[in-house]
């Protein structure tokens, strides 16, 4: 098995919208036991400290610390009963939410890794979730990859355990639109979602 090549910290030290767009097609890999669980990013949302939809707009707290650190820190929080994954970007309080992904298999992350992801994230009845639904949402993604707030919040990537890799999958077309789930009056009109 080949060792994945992690994106370096400087990749994340960019404007949140630029980073959100450039993360599309990149693969998140999380090593669980001997397996690299993997998913290709297909949807992101950019957040800035100065806009009301951002957690950082509520100010610095120990819990939101990762948002105020330099690009490439991991910010995780609980939403809709599950874990959510963000990466800090350039500028205090700016970040990108990983909204959705698709399971990725290759020589590093094989069919056994995919099977483990399906075991991690069954559907509501306990049945195996099909690959196209496995990471179709921010909390489903974290559940499938086995990512937890206590283990990763405010940490840096660890190339031996968690990384983002460029596998040469660049989307042919990117749609830029409004973010999902932003309440009225909280800058819901901003076109910061990339699919």
pLDDT band at 2 (very low <50, low <70, confident <90, very high): low
Report d(CA 122, CA 98) in Å as an integer.
Answer: 20
Residues spanned by the domain of 138: 9-194
d(CA 136, CA 99) in angstroms, rounded, equals 8
2 within some domain: no
Q: Evaluate whether residue 3 is within a structural domain.
A: no
**Residue at 4 is within a domain:** no
Q: What is the 3-state secondary structure (H, E, C) of 89-125?
A: CCCCCCEEEEEEEEECCCCCCCHHHHHHHHHHCCCCC
CB contact set of 162 (below 8 Å; sequence gap of 6+) = 28, 29, 30, 31, 74, 147, 152
Q: Count how many domains the chain has.
A: 1
| CATH at 75 | 3.10.300.10
pLDDT band at 7 (very low <50, low <70, confident <90, very high): very high
- At residue 193, does pLDDT exceed 90? yes
| Mean pLDDT confidence for 102-127 | 97
Average pLDDT, integer, range 151-157: 97
Q: Smallest Cα–Cα separation from 68: which of 82, 49, 96?
A: 49
Mean pLDDT of 13-29: 98
Among 180, 167, 155, 175, which residue's Cα sits nearest to residue 66?
155
In a domain, residue 167? The reply is yes
Confidence of residue 183 (pLDDT cuts 50, 70, 90): confident
**pLDDT confidence of residue 138:** 97
Share of the chain above pLDDT 90, in %: 92
Rounded to whole angstroms, the Cα distance separating 136 from 104 reads 13
- Which burial class, exposed, middle or buried, applies to 160 when counting CB atoms under 10 A from its CB (0-12, 13-18, 19+)? exposed
Question: What digits encode the pLDDT tens for the residues 80-104?
Answer: 889 999 999 999 999 999 999 999 9
1 vs 173, which has greater pLDDT?
A: 173
Residue 1 lies in a domain: no
Q: How many residues in the chain?
A: 195
Q: What is the pLDDT of residue 10?
A: 95
Q: Is residue 20 part of a domain?
A: yes
109, part of any domain = yes
Residue 112 pLDDT more than 90?
Answer: yes
Residue 35 lies in a domain: yes
Residue 68 CA to residue 2 CA, distance in Å, equals 34
pLDDT of residue 81: 86
- pLDDT band at 76, cuts 50/70/90? very high
């Amino acid at each position: 098995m080949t060792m994945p090549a992690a994106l370096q910290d400087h990749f994340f030290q960019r404007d949140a919208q630029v980073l959100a767009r450039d993360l599309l097609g990149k693969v998140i890999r999380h090593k669980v036991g001997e397996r690299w669980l993997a998913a290709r990013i297909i949807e992101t949302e950019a957040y800035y400290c100065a806009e009301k939809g951002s957690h950082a707009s509520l100010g610095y707290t120990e819990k939101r610390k990762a948002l105020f650190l330099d690009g490439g820190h991991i910010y995780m929080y609980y939403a809709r009963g599950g874990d959510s994954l963000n990466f800090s970007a350039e500028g205090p309080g700016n970040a990108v939410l990983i909204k959705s992904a698709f399971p990725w298999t290759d020589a590093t992350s094989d069919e056994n890794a995919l099977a483990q992801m399906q075991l991690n994230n069954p559907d509501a009845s306990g049945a195996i979730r099909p690959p196209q639904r496995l990471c179709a949402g921010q909390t489903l993604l974290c559940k499938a990859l086995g990512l937890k707030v206590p283990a990763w919040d405010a940490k840096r990537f660890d190339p031996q355990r968690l990384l983002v890799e460029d596998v040469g999958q660049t989307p042919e077309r990117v749609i830029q639109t409004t973010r999902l789930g932003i309440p009225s009056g909280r800058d819901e009109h901003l076109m910061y979602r990339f699919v």
